[in-house]
Amino acid sequence: MNIHQQQMNILRPLSPHLPIYKPQLTSTFPISHRISGAFLATNVLFSYLLCLKIGLICFTYENFYQFLFYSSKLILISVEITALALSYHLYHGVRHLLTDFSGFLYCSLIILARKRWK
């Protein structure tokens, strides 16, 4: 190999089809549905383990109330993110049921609406 061929190999992308790939809705929705489901499952597991570890005795400690007071912004943000993930997960589940039980009429309506807005 001469120097010119080595430079061409370095500049060549590993996957030439990826820069021109346009992600479709049918591949993006299931991935984000799984991510939101994993996030919600992690929250449920974490809260369950926290309740098992701490129990009801935590309400008698002053440090627990200080922690809640000083981390109130963090708790508010985490509740909002969880509510957003829950609403997306629920919406996508209903949309999935509609596409399954409507004979894909719902998908054809989405395709028609997409063509109309182009």
Residue range 18-33, pLDDT digits in tens: 666 677 777 788 889 9
Higher-pLDDT residue of 2 and 44 is 44
- In the chain, the amino acid numbered 14 is L
Determine if residue 89 is labeled as part of a ligand binding site.
yes
Q: Could you report the per-residue pLDDT of 31-73, keeping only the tens digit for each?
A: 899 999 999 999 999 888 877 777 766 667 777 777 777 777 8
pTM reported for the whole predicted model: 0.62
Distances (CA, A) of 82 to 31, 60, 85, 99: 17, 27, 5, 26
Token pair 């000083």 is found at 70
Q: CB atoms < 10 A from the CB of 96, how many?
A: 14
Radius of gyration of the chain (CA): 24
Question: Which tokens in the block code for residue 54?
Answer: 């701490």
